[in-house]
Amino acid sequence: MSRIAQTFAALKAEGRGALMPFLMGYDPDLATSAEILRGMPAAGADLIEIGCPFSDPMADGPTVQLAGQRALKAGATLGGILAMVRDFRQGNDHTPIILMGYLNPILSYGAERFCADAKAAGADGLIVVDMPPEESQDLAPFATAQGLDLIRLIAPTTGDERLPGVLRSCSGFIYYVAITGITGTRSATSADLAVNIPRLRQHTSLPIAIGFGVRTPAQAAEAAKVADGAVVASALIERMAASLDAQGRATPATVATVLGDVRALAAAIHAG
Amino acid sequence: MNKPVLPNSFRTGPDAAGRFGTFGGRYVAETLMPLILEVEEAYKAARADESFETEWRRLLKDYVGRPSPLWFAQRITEHLGGAQVWMKRDELNHTGAHKINAVLGQILLAKRMGKKRIIAETGAGQHGVATATACALFNLPCTVFMGATDVERQQPNVFRMKLLGAEVVAVTAGAATLKDAMNEALRHWVANVTDTYYCIGTVAGPHPYPMMVRDFQSVIGEEARAQMLEATGRLPDTLVAAIGGGSNAMGLFFPFLDDESVAMHGVEAGGHGLEIEGGHAASLTGGRPGVLHGNRTYLLQDAEGQILEGHSISAGLDYPGVGPEHSWLHDIGRVQYVAATDKAALDAFQLCSKLEGIIPALEPAHALAHVIEYAPTLPKDHIILMNMCGRGDKDIFAVAKHLGVEL
């Protein structure tokens, strides 16, 4: 059983949903993001998403865009982020790591080599934002061969005729995009979730995580209850960005701010 | 005209997956996927409906002023002393460039789809002006995304768009140029799915856009083919067109692709020179394949797959990608792609103005720069047909600055 499947199974037995915080690798610099990563499990992260920056992130709102720009300026590369994961695994063997990014840097790295290196570094799953099932031919075979889960985004606009095909191509868990829009710009509504999560359940037995509109501990708790997990990204990045100095450098408050927020999110989810 | 379709026709693409060979496709987030599938269905239905074609053709004739003339550029020909230089005069279109051809087709499609507002991206502003124009005509609200850097560089077109009633959004993300404007338009579209149509300006983006924009722009090549046959009794020997995203070139080339005797040259923006990284916008001759803006195509990118900013004196050519059909035509060798530098384009801009009384846009000035180099090497009975795809009114400020003239 993969780390991702094990984690969701254990949480199900506990009767609660998963907290999946996001951090952009190398934002604002390698050492700070590595320290945040190391601290996240103890702060209550059940799974962790690491963003791999791309110059043209067309599904992301301003907050994640700026995080990516800071990361690229700090020298982020796919190889560097895989090294971050490898270091993290020295001290943690149980928290699943999901790499989230865009296709072009992966193709440039070499899809087959990337999947092999990601697996060797200790990553568990991939989310490739601009790779719908129809365009998976260049990556999916290699991910499957390495036992990396390929996690798919499902949108509110994904209709019933399209849904089964997308779900069939998915493994690990389903990432439900809770808003029609880009990351961090709106909040998910309970009404949409109440309709769409059961609709997904009819077609899949995979766990469902909700992202793209989950900002507060209360929203995270609700998402983790309605579905199986909540992804929080922009809200954490905004607070981290606010902790930086005028030159965009980390301050003593940076790591503590982010991990404190993760703790608050976890507490809300645990309180259910 | 009644020749049987060759089994190896170059005009059958894209396939059902939106691919030209290995290029093209639909590399978009799931949030966008249902939208582009909807556009594809609507476009298929529209093409099957004769009234759609009739209305589009009426607009081209009575509003745009098509057919655009075919002009034998006698003085340039004499000056160069080699091949005959002919120009397809798409700069005479309403709004001053070829962009309006595909915009009108797309706006008619948006209306059929029941969309209530239009968004577009623009670099130099020509596509933005064309879209704002069509939206004024059809009384549709229009929002144009334009990189903040370009807004600064292209004030006259920004003012035009506003006069036409459009809202211009200055995009500050990334490098604040055309690619960032396209990112922002895609983001806005995802967030406004139900009522909004995204009118893309070139033969790039996710399927069906490269096909659809090519189909509409093919009016250029269809007219030119018939006009050349009427004027000279034969087909041209070489077609030349400038390439940014590649819509004017695709429009000229496509109807000739199966005419074996017709050679084709696409001219990319060589900027300061292809040897300078970040100094040009020549995706085909100076880039490598990758995925951006929904399609697999040649891109300007660094070793890590991060997209580079293109540079060109022409704001309409400094896009780091190119239409996927061009990438395919490049790989199979049906079209030759070359580059012209900023300097060569500036020289061509001035020569054309003085010898033909035609002030070209900086984009076709790149095509002409190649013609200037190529024509003298050819015999006098060789016919070169270049696409004069836009006029230079928008560029006079930039050109004056480059020539050290204060206006």
Q: Kindly identify which residue of chain B lies nearest to residue A68, measuring between CA atoms.
A: B174
Rounded Cα distance between B130 and B214, Å, is 16
Contact map slice: B 240-269 vs A, CB within 8 A: none
Rounded Cα distance between B279 and B302, Å, is 13
Which of A52, A56, A102, A138 is the best residue to mutate to test the B interface, defined by the most B CB atoms within 10 Å of its own CB? A56
Active site residue A112: no
- Residues A127, A50 contacting (CB under 8 angstroms): no
The minimum CA-CA distance between A256 and chain B, rounded to whole Å, is 28
Clarify whether residues B287 and B371 are in a common domain.
yes
In tens, the pLDDT along B221-266 reads 999 999 999 999 999 999 999 999 999 999 999 999 999 999 999 9
B307 with A135: Cβ contact below 8 A: no
Torsion of CA B179, B180, B184, B185, to 10 degrees: -30
Q: How far apart are the first and last CA of chain A?
A: 27
Q: Kindly identify which residue of chain A lies nearest to residue B180, measuring between CA atoms.
A: A56
Clarify whether residues B225 and B355 are in a common domain.
yes
A183 neighbourhood in chain B, CB within 8 Å: none
Clarify whether residues B148 and B241 are in a common domain.
no
pLDDT at res. B5: 47
Clarify whether residues B222 and B209 are in a common domain.
no
- Residues A50, A25 contacting (CB under 8 angstroms): yes
Rounded Cα distance between A254 and A248, Å, is 11
* Domain end point (choices B161, B185, B213): B213
CA nearest neighbour of A101 among A80, B287, B11: A80
Beta strands (DSSP E) in A147-194 are 149-150, 152-154, 174-177
Asked if A160 is an interface residue toward chain B (Cβ–Cβ < 8 A), one would say no
Torsion of CA B184, B187, B191, B194, to 10 degrees: 90
B44 CB-near residues (< 8 Å, 6+ apart): none
Clarify whether residues B243 and B282 are in a common domain.
yes
In tens, the pLDDT along B100-132 reads 999 999 999 999 999 999 999 998 899 999 999
**Over 80: is that where the pLDDT of A272 sits?**
no
Clarify whether residues B270 and B388 are in a common domain.
yes
Beta bridge partners of B19: B24
Asked if B183 is an interface residue toward chain A (Cβ–Cβ < 8 A), one would say yes
In tens, the pLDDT along B16-74 reads 999 999 999 999 999 899 999 999 999 999 999 999 999 999 999 999 999 999 999 99
B28 with A130: Cβ contact below 8 A: yes
Clarify whether residues B245 and B204 are in a common domain.
no
B179 neighbourhood in chain A, CB within 8 Å: 56
pLDDT at res. A191: 82
CATH number for B327: 3.40.50.1100
Rounded Cα distance between B243 and B310, Å, is 13
- Residues A109, A79 contacting (CB under 8 angstroms): yes
* Residue B10, domain member (yes or no): no
Q: Nearest Cβ partner of A104 from B17, B35, B291?
A: B291
Report the phi/psi class of residue A19: left, alpha or beta, with left for phi > 0 and alpha for psi in -120 to 50: beta
* Residue B142, domain member (yes or no): yes
Name the pLDDT band for B1 (thresholds 50, 70, 90).
very low
Q: Nearest Cβ partner of A181 from B190, B299, B305?
A: B190
Rounded Cα distance between B257 and B253, Å, is 6
A153 with B27: Cβ contact below 8 A: no
Which of A26, A52, A58 is the best residue to mutate to test the B interface, defined by the most B CB atoms within 10 Å of its own CB? A58
Clarify whether residues B159 and B246 are in a common domain.
no
* Catalytic choice (A49, A117, A222, A261): A49
What are phi and psi for residue B313, nearest 5 degrees?
Answer: -65, -25
pLDDT at res. A72: 97
Asked if B236 is an interface residue toward chain A (Cβ–Cβ < 8 A), one would say no
Which of A129, A135, A185, A186 is the best residue to mutate to test the B interface, defined by the most B CB atoms within 10 Å of its own CB? A135
In tens, the pLDDT along A74-129 reads 999 999 999 999 999 999 999 999 999 999 999 999 999 999 999 999 999 999 99
A108 with B173: Cβ contact below 8 A: no
Rounded Cα distance between A22 and A99, Å, is 10
Q: Which domain holds residue B83?
A: 67-96+218-402
Clarify whether residues B319 and B226 are in a common domain.
yes
**Over 60: is that where the pLDDT of B93 sits?**
yes
Mean pLDDT over each residue of chain A, to the nearest integer: 95
Residue B400 CB neighbours (<10 A): 12
* Residue B315, domain member (yes or no): yes
Q: Kindly identify which residue of chain B lies nearest to residue A212, measuring between CA atoms.
A: B31
The minimum CA-CA distance between A51 and chain B, rounded to whole Å, is 15
* Domain end point (choices B187, B213, B239): B213
In chain A, the domains with their CATH numbers are: 3-265 (3.20.20.70)
**Over 60: is that where the pLDDT of B7 sits?**
no
In tens, the pLDDT along A157-211 reads 898 889 999 999 999 999 999 887 777 777 777 888 888 899 999 999 999 999 9
Torsion of CA B395, B396, B401, B406, to 10 degrees: -150
Q: Please count the residue pairs, one from chain A and one from chain B, whose beta carbons lie less than 8 angstroms apart.
A: 115
- Residues B217, B67 contacting (CB under 8 angstroms): no
In three-state secondary structure terms, B84 is: strand
CA nearest neighbour of B240 among B86, B81, B395, B68: B86
B173 neighbourhood in chain A, CB within 8 Å: 62, 65
Report the phi/psi class of residue B259: left, alpha or beta, with left for phi > 0 and alpha for psi in -120 to 50: beta
Active site residue A29: no
Clarify whether residues B347 and B372 are in a common domain.
yes
* Domain end point (choices B195, B213, B231): B213
Asked if B407 is an interface residue toward chain A (Cβ–Cβ < 8 A), one would say no
CA nearest neighbour of A46 among A20, A73, A25, A82: A20
Asked if B148 is an interface residue toward chain A (Cβ–Cβ < 8 A), one would say no
A77 with B304: Cβ contact below 8 A: yes
Q: How many domains does chain B have?
A: 2
Rounded Cα distance between B158 and B170, Å, is 10
Q: Which helix (H) or strand (E) covers residue B266, if one does?
A: strand B263-271
* Residue B4, domain member (yes or no): no
* Residue B205, domain member (yes or no): yes
Using a CB cutoff of 8 Å and minimum separation of 24, what contacts does A193-199 make? Answer: A193/A222, A193/A223, A193/A226, A193/A227, A194/A226, A196/A156, A197/A226, A197/A227, A199/A160, A199/A163
CA nearest neighbour of A111 among A122, A126, A124: A126
Torsion of CA B110, B111, B112, B118, to 10 degrees: 20
Clarify whether residues B57 and B180 are in a common domain.
yes
pLDDT at res. B2: 53
B391 CB-near residues (< 8 Å, 6+ apart): B91, B92, B96, B97, B358, B359, B360, B361
Asked if B283 is an interface residue toward chain A (Cβ–Cβ < 8 A), one would say no
Clarify whether residues B242 and B113 are in a common domain.
no
Rounded Cα distance between B396 and B388, Å, is 16
ipTM score of complex:
0.95
